[in-house]
Amino acid sequence: MNQTIRYKILELFMLHYPKPYMELSFNSAFELLISVILSAKSTDKSVNKATSLLYSIANTPFTMLKLGLYRLNKIINVIGLHNKKSIYIIQTCKILVHNYQGKVPDNRIDLEKLPGVGRKTASIILNTIFHQPVIAVDTHVFRICNRTSFAIGKNVKEVESKLTKLVPIYFKYNLHNWFVLHGRYICTARNPNCNKCFINHLCCFHLINKLK
């Protein structure tokens, strides 16, 4: 795919998703951090269900530590891998309190030192909270990039590297949310809704299938 087509695709996303949003519910950097940790291999719906109660009780590192591991685990037990995630959250809160005065770090190095925080989670925090032009590549972003030929890569790291080079900075702030929303509701993993897709005339997957 050439850069002119990529630019047209990005312009269409900007037109159709003028105000892209995360479907995780949060009201602070800390709440988003915890929600993203909880979202690994879980749906946003299940995370929001758990955090609606959790954040009414504990929504800072200090109150989370006061809540404790046992009670935290009981509250989030509707989420997959809740035992491991409870431990990650308590460990992360201890680090935030002891090293960062309870604040979420604003740089990748410190973020990725937190238990349960990988590159994708760090990128989401940096992009959403600190408004940095970084692109988090999750399963939806990875699928759309490869399916459309927007940025082909064998793994997440490869796709992220290509996106970093190919996407103009102006679009980097919203690309993650654009592709996630599109991946959930249009370009789904199984049976993508190509007829409802506003970029189908620019998508290699759709154009090839039309020729079959």
Q: What is the pLDDT of residues 77-101, one digit of tens each?
A: 989 899 999 999 999 999 999 999 9
For residues 178 and 17, the answer to whether their CB atoms sit within 8 Å is yes
pTM of the model as a whole: 0.92
In the annotation, is 120 catalytic?
yes
Q: How far apart are the first and last CA of the chain?
A: 20
In the annotation, is 138 catalytic?
yes
The pair of structure tokens assigned to 164 is 């970093």
pLDDT tens profile 148-161:
999 999 999 999 99
State the catalytic residue, choosing from 110, 138, 162, 196: 138
State the catalytic residue, choosing from 19, 94, 113, 120: 120
